[in-house]
Structure 1
Amino acid sequence: MTIPHREPQKPSFREASKEALLLVLRPLVRWLSVMRVRPDTLTVIGWSLALCSAVLFGLGYARIAGVVMLIGGLFDALDGAVARESNRMSSFGAFLDSTLDRLSESAIFVGLIFFYASMARPYEAMLAGAAMTFSLLTSYARARAEGLDIDCEVGLLERAGRIVLLSVFSIFGLPTVGLGLLAAGALVTTAQRILHVSRATSG
C-alpha cells in the first residue's frame, strides 16, 4: 500500500511571530536563567507594570500607559521562556501567570473605563467594557476547553496580540481605535474557539 505524501504544514503567522520574538529574546532569556531569576518574579513584575499602566490610563496619560503596557507585555513573554530555559516550569507558576494575566487585563480596561466615564464619554466607556468582556471570554473559552483536554490555541487575537494592539494604538494617541479593534478581534476569537471545540467534540 502506498502511503500518500503529505506536505509539512507551514507555521501560522501567529506561530511564526512568536518564534521570531523568542529568537530575539533568546540572549536575555539565557542571561536571566544564568542569573537564576525566578520566573514567578518576572510574572509579578509584568503584573505590577500592568497595574501602573492601568493607573496611567485612568489619569489620561494614554501614550505613557501604552509604553508601560508594552514593557509589561515583554515580561509576560519572558516568564514562560525563562521557566523553560531554566527547567523551572511548575503547575503553580502556570496558575499564577494565568491568574495575574486576567487581573492585569481587567485593571487596564477598568482604568480606561474610569477615564472615559470621568470625561463624560459614555460610548467610549461602554466600548472599553465590551473589550474587557470579550477579552476575558476569549481566555475563559480556552481555559474551559483545556479543562476538557482540548487544545485551544486557535483564533485571530490571543493575549499577546491584544497587548500589542492596544499599547501601539495608545502610544500613537488612539486608544479608542485600539479598543474597537480589540473588541472585534476578541469577539471573533471567541467564536473561532467555540467552533473549534464544537468540531473537536462532535466526533
Structure 2
Amino acid sequence: MKPHVPKQSPQTLTAFLRQRFKPLLERIALGLARLGVTPNAVTLAGLAGNILAAFWLAQGRITWAGWLLLVIWPLDALDGALARLRGSPSPFGGVLDSVTDRYAELLVWGGLLVYYLSRADPISVILIYLAAGGSLMVSYTKARGEAQGFRVEGGLLTRVERFLVLVPCLILNRPLIAIWAIALLANFTALQRLWLIFRQSSMPAQPGRPTLPKE
C-alpha cells in the first residue's frame, strides 16, 4: 500500500500578494535601510497609523479612516522585507509584529465600537464584538495549531481578506456591510481551521509531529 501523501494546499491570497509585490517591497526596504530605519520602527509606525484610524472611526470619520488604513497597509509587509534585507530577523521582531497586528485589528474594531455605541445601535455593537472575536480566533487557531506541529494554512477569511472586505467598505462609508461579513465569515474561518487541525490529528502519527498534550 502506498503511503498517504497529503495534497498540496493551493496558494493563499497572502502568499500570492507577497510574491507579486516582493520586488517593489524590496526596493522600498532597501531605501529605508540606507536611511537607517529599523524593522521595529516600521512596525510601530503601522500601529500608530491604526491608532489614528481608530480615533477617526470613533468620531464617525469613516471614509478618512478607510483611506488611512489603505495607505499604511504596505507597512505590514514592509517590516518583514526590511528585516530580511538587513539579515537580522530577530525572534522579538517577529513576536512584536504579530502582537501589533492583533492590537491594530482590535483598535479598528474598538473605534467602530465607540462610534456605534454613540449611535445607540446594539445590533451593530454585538456584530462588532463577534467580528473582533472571530478575527482574533482565526489567528489564534493558526498559532496554536502550528505550535503543535500541524500545518494550518489558508481559510476563507484570513487577515488579508478581512482587510480587503473592511477597507473598501470604510472608504465607501458602508461599514455595516463589512461588519456583517466579517462577523460571520471570520468565525467560520476559525472553525474551518479547527476542522483542518482535527483532520490532521486523525491521520497516522508522522515522525517529528508532536502529539497534543492533555489540558
Query: 1:174, CA displacement in angstroms?
Result: 0.8
- State the alpha-carbon separation in 2 of the partners of residues 9 and 165 from structure 1: 23
- State the alpha-carbon separation in 2 of the partners of residues 148 and 10 from structure 1: 22
TM-score scaled by structure 1? 0.89
Query: 1:132, CA displacement in angstroms?
Result: 0.3
Q: Can you give the 5+ residue segments of structure 2 that lack an aligned partner in the other structure?
A: 1-7, 204-215
- State the alpha-carbon separation in 1 of the partners of residues 183 and 65 from structure 2: 19
Residue 176, structure 1, aligned to residue 148, structure 2: no
Residue 34, structure 1, aligned to residue 46, structure 2: no
Cα deviations by residue, 1:101-126 (Å, 9 ceiling, x for unpaired): 11111111111011001011111111
Query: 1:9, CA displacement in angstroms?
Result: 7.9
Query: 1:14, CA displacement in angstroms?
Result: 4.2
Q: Can you give the 5+ residue segments of structure 1 that lack an aligned partner in the other structure?
A: 1-7
Aligned CA distance change for structure 1 residues 11 and 100 (closer, same or farther; 3 Å) = closer
Aligned to 1:97: 97
The answer to whether the 8 Å contact 1:154/1:192 transfers is no
TM-score scaled by structure 2? 0.84
- State the alpha-carbon separation in 1 of the partners of residues 21 and 177 from structure 2: 25
Aligned to 1:5: none
- State the alpha-carbon separation in 1 of the partners of residues 14 and 143 from structure 2: 19
- State the alpha-carbon separation in 1 of the partners of residues 12 and 57 from structure 2: 33
Aligned to 2:210: none
**RMSD (Å) for aligned C-alpha atoms:** 1.8
Identity value in percent? 30
Query: 1:129, CA displacement in angstroms?
Result: 1.1
Aligned to 1:3: none
Aligned to 1:63: 63
The answer to whether the 8 Å contact 1:49/1:71 transfers is no
Aligned to 1:120: 120
Aligned positions of 1:1-203 closer than 5 A: 11-203=11-203
How many residues get paired?
196
Query: 1:151, CA displacement in angstroms?
Result: 2.9
Deviates more, 1:26-35 or 1:128-137: 26-35
Query: 1:189, CA displacement in angstroms?
Result: 1.5
